[in-house]
Amino acid sequence: MKKLLAVLLALTLVLSMSAVAFAAEDGKITIWTWDPNFNIASMKIGADMYHVDHPDVEIEIQEVQSEDIETAVAQAAVAGDLSTLPDIMLCQDNSFQKMVINYPEVYTDITDKYDFEGFGEAKAAYSTVEGRHYGIPFDAGTVVAAYRTDYLAEAGYTVADLTDITWTEFAEKAKEIKEKTGKPVFCTQAGSGDWILIMIQSCGASMFTEEGAVNLKDNEAIKAAITVYADLVKQGIILETNSWDEMIGTLANGSVCGTFNGCWILGSIMATADQSGKWDITNLPSLEGIEGATHYSNNGGSSWAITQGTDVDLALDFMQLYRNVDFYNAILPTTSAIATFAPAKEAPNYTAVNEFMGSPVFATIVEYGMSVPSNITGAYYYDARNAMATAITNYINGADLDSELAQAEDTVNFAMGF
């Protein structure tokens, strides 16, 4: 199947190149992205920095939502006219492989045109298909375990006691923390499946094989992760909420001791000013008995793609910013966008002690990101995630795990046309 995918990618590209109309090389850089306070703000800072040495280059940053970018890519590919697309566009990491596989004529292969040294291996892997790079890594989704240090102290623990431990050790300590504080230790949104994906990626495991086949029912990492998660829910150590807003509310109102998620969760935590000095972070517990298990994972994030046939050289020159430590240092205070570029951890805004957390958390997160194992997302990532989320919910409610994962695998295979 892997060889077939490579052949299909090459054939699609050859057949489409003759029909596709490309955007003109006009000396202008057009960028599509979303979120004015995060992605757009980062690009505006980058544009200002680039203009210092390139004052004549026009840079136009347009707000376009993620789903609208994907729709526009599909429409342009079908129409055979890429001139409707920008020079640079952002793509969700978990969608990147799907988009390149489905529309290879749109995305520029930058493997031999961009230096990827210094970027986390797992981060770069999200935008890699058949060993070729199609994306430039941007913001980190590196997972952190965030704890209320005052609640831990009440139970006789510190963050150090919850560092480099296994999930079995976590369960033992979390039970005591819950008993002494009267609060669940962690919170999450019910039915999302994200925590299981975080846990399996920490082992370098995936929902798909390298050949692209679904790998749910016989996946030992998935079984271990779901079993651990369900047990913690049943013990009341993990509080499941009905919605994302409700989950964020438990952090803000202090009704839980913490959570673990992509590092972007710190933005929500630090929004509650009166909790400053009461939080800190550490790494994840590891899954026992699973080969390759680590304390590091990822959830979320995005990477930049360059459209074929546009001002590729100019776009690549502009995107050298993403290898510039000064750029990452500049955007951090304004956007909280955390780099996946290892040298950035030495920048002043990264090494500085964060007043809210009481430690240099941003440098720590970059360091964690370099140890995250890579995994396979493929073209049917969200189909598999949704099917697995249903299996998790049913298992927690009393269903047989093996049967549920077998059904989930059948569901994804049907979506894939098998």
Contact 134, 109 (CB under 8 A): yes
Of 129, 203, 259, residue with least CA distance to 372: 203
The backbone region for 277, taken as left when phi is positive above 0, alpha when psi lies in -120 to 50, beta otherwise, is left
| Arithmetic mean of pLDDT over the chain | 92
pLDDT digits (tens, 9 = 90+) for 92-108: 999 999 999 999 999 99
Percent of the chain with pLDDT over 90: 89
Model confidence at 15, pLDDT cuts 50, 70, 90, reads: very low
pLDDT digits (tens, 9 = 90+) for 348-388: 999 999 989 999 999 999 999 999 999 999 899 999 999 99
Query: Is the pLDDT assigned to residue 265 strictly greater than 90?
Result: yes
Model confidence at 138, pLDDT cuts 50, 70, 90, reads: very high
Contact 206, 375 (CB under 8 A): yes
Percent of the chain with pLDDT over 70: 94
Averaged pLDDT, 265-281: 94
Contact 158, 152 (CB under 8 A): yes
Domains of the chain plus CATH, in order, are 2-141+300-357 (3.40.190.10), 143-297+380-415 (3.40.190.10)
Long-range contacts of 113-119 (CB under 8 A, 24+ apart): 113/312, 113/316, 114/316, 114/319, 115/323, 118/323, 118/341, 118/342, 118/343, 119/340, 119/341, 119/342
- What distance in Å separates the CA atoms of residue 2 and residue 222, rounded to the nearest whole number? 23
**Count of Cβ atoms closer than 10 Å to residue 289 Cβ:** 10
- What distance in Å separates the CA atoms of residue 276 and residue 270, rounded to the nearest whole number? 7
> 56-86 burial by CB neighbour count: b if 16+ within 10 A, else e?
ebebebeebebeebbebbeebbeeeebeebb
Beta strands in 64-104 (DSSP E): 88-92
- pLDDT at position 324: 97
Higher pLDDT, 267 or 149: 149
- pLDDT at position 3: 40
- pLDDT at position 309: 78
Model confidence at 4, pLDDT cuts 50, 70, 90, reads: very low
Lookup result for tokens 């630090």: 270
Query: Is the pLDDT assigned to residue 391 strictly greater than 60?
Result: yes
pLDDT digits (tens, 9 = 90+) for 42-80: 999 999 999 999 999 999 999 999 999 999 999 999 999
pTM of the complete model beyond 0.95: no
- pLDDT at position 25: 62
Q: Determine which helix (DSSP H) or strand (DSSP E) holds 258, and give its type and residue range.
A: strand 258-262
